[in-house]
Amino acid sequence: MTRRLAARRQLARPSAGVLAILLAGCAMTQAHQAAAQDAPSAIPAAPADSTIPAIATTPPISPGDAGWLKDLTDWRAARERLVDAPDGWLSLVGMAWLKSGPNSVGAAEDNQIRVRDKVPDHIAVLTVAGNSPKAMTVQLQAPKGGFPPDLMIDGKPAAEGPLAVDSDSPPMITWHGLTIVALNRGGRYLLSIKDADSPLRTNFHELHWYPPDPRFRVSAAWTPYNPPRMVKIPTVLGNTLDFPSPGFAEFVLDGQPINLEPVTEPGHEGTLFFILTDVTSQITTYKTARYLHTGLPDHGVDHPGQLTLDFNKLENPPCAYTTYASCPLPPDQNQLPVAIEAGERLYTPR
């Protein structure tokens, strides 16, 4: 398989931890290489009609992997329920940056932010005040004539006042199947609008997966950063977000030493977030990124140890399902020169 990735960082020489993994896995690597001589050398490109290429066979699963396979099957089913939830990514129908001053929201043409025509003409006014990111506030105000009946904030009747948009769980403004949330994105506020009756959701069929493959469940050597360092993560919107990274994971895949750097997200303690691309991107998997969430290393993020990475749980970003999403993109060091034929594949709406 051939594919040139721009801005690819040249791999560094393997560390002692990776060399140990290489030596331990030498026999397995040779076996994989011998088997690969009879296998196709490339993943077929997706045809023009966006039909997903078929996967030929399911890798053999040993009896010892039965527990892992059940866990993976349950996880994938939960993943589909999450995507198809009434407030899931398929329901995302709009997003807009909030500007300084009042931002009226509703179906009428005189609103700064218009929503579908099945909602009230005027839902609410979100007023942004302050001159610096740390001093900015967002106030919820009623439109002329008051809030529409049944408008709720976190399950309670809507009332004027400040919105805690900088918290880990920003308040949700709801009206029947409509959900509106203001999100802090790098010092600016982005309004996310979801509709439980969106066509994408009502036409949802299923997600597409590679067959489970134990070969893509690896044990990585974990090296901490002391102290953790801040990394800049680009997004599809063109802005950059700052995330803390507590360290990096090293492992060997298809005979190549790999270095992956995760970040941590506010409100998701106990989880590492990997953003990456690989050689399958734009061919059988989503072009800009796939995401992997893992637990913590066996000795915590502050000490050297081991970390399990199961690439069978790679998932698509929200941008794979809707154009109204602000998705983080992988840093240069997470753009991998190997094909990870595992996890979620291209999504094709019905």
Query: Which domain covers residue 324, as residue numbers?
Result: 16-84+206-334
Residue 5 lies in a domain: no
Residue 11 lies in a domain: no
Residue 4 lies in a domain: no
Residue 10 lies in a domain: no
Pair (20, 97) in one structural domain: no
Pair (249, 100) in one structural domain: no
Pair (146, 281) in one structural domain: no
Looking at residue 63, its pLDDT comes to 74
User: Distance of CA 321 to CAs 62, 199, 207, 334, Å?
Assistant: 34, 12, 10, 22
Pair (27, 162) in one structural domain: no
Cis peptide before 214 (omega within 30 of 0): no
Residue 59: which pLDDT band, with cuts at 50, 70 and 90? low
Q: Which residue in 225, 275, 268 sits closest to 246, CA to CA?
A: 225
Q: Tokens 């994971």 belong to which residue?
A: 249
Least confident residue range of 26-30, 64-68, 202-206, 251-255: 26-30
Q: Give yes or no for a contact between 103 and 125, defined as CB atoms under 8 angstroms apart.
A: yes
Domain final residue, candidates 183, 202, 221: 202
Pair (27, 96) in one structural domain: no
Round to whole Å and give the CA distance between 253 and 258.
7
Residue 243 lies in a domain: yes
Residue 113 lies in a domain: yes
Task: Write the DSSP symbol of residue 281.
Answer: B
To which H or E segment does residue 227 belong?
A: strand 217-234
How many structural domains comprise the chain? 2
Residue 3 lies in a domain: no
Looking at residue 186, its pLDDT comes to 77
Burial of residue 117, with CB atoms counted within 10 A of its CB: 0-12 exposed, 13-18 middle, 19 or more buried? exposed
The CATH number covering residue 152 comes to: 2.60.200.20
Pair (71, 122) in one structural domain: no
Residue 242 lies in a domain: yes
Pair (106, 44) in one structural domain: no
Residue 35: which pLDDT band, with cuts at 50, 70 and 90? very low
- Whether residue 36 is predicted with pLDDT greater than 50 in this model: the reply is no
Pair (188, 276) in one structural domain: no
- Whether residue 54 is predicted with pLDDT greater than 60 in this model: the reply is no
Pair (325, 223) in one structural domain: yes
Per-residue model confidence as pLDDT tens digits over 108-154: 999 999 987 689 999 999 999 987 767 789 999 999 999 999 999 99
Pair (216, 319) in one structural domain: yes
Token readout for 159 is 């009332």
Domain final residue, candidates 202, 225, 241: 202
Pair (128, 214) in one structural domain: no
pTM over cut 0.75: no
Per-residue model confidence as pLDDT tens digits over 178-189: 999 998 887 889
Domain final residue, candidates 202, 224, 242: 202
Pair (79, 211) in one structural domain: yes
Residue 266: which pLDDT band, with cuts at 50, 70 and 90? confident
- Whether residue 205 is predicted with pLDDT greater than 60 in this model: the reply is yes
Looking at residue 130, its pLDDT comes to 83
Per-residue model confidence as pLDDT tens digits over 294-336: 999 999 999 999 999 999 999 999 999 998 888 999 999 999 9
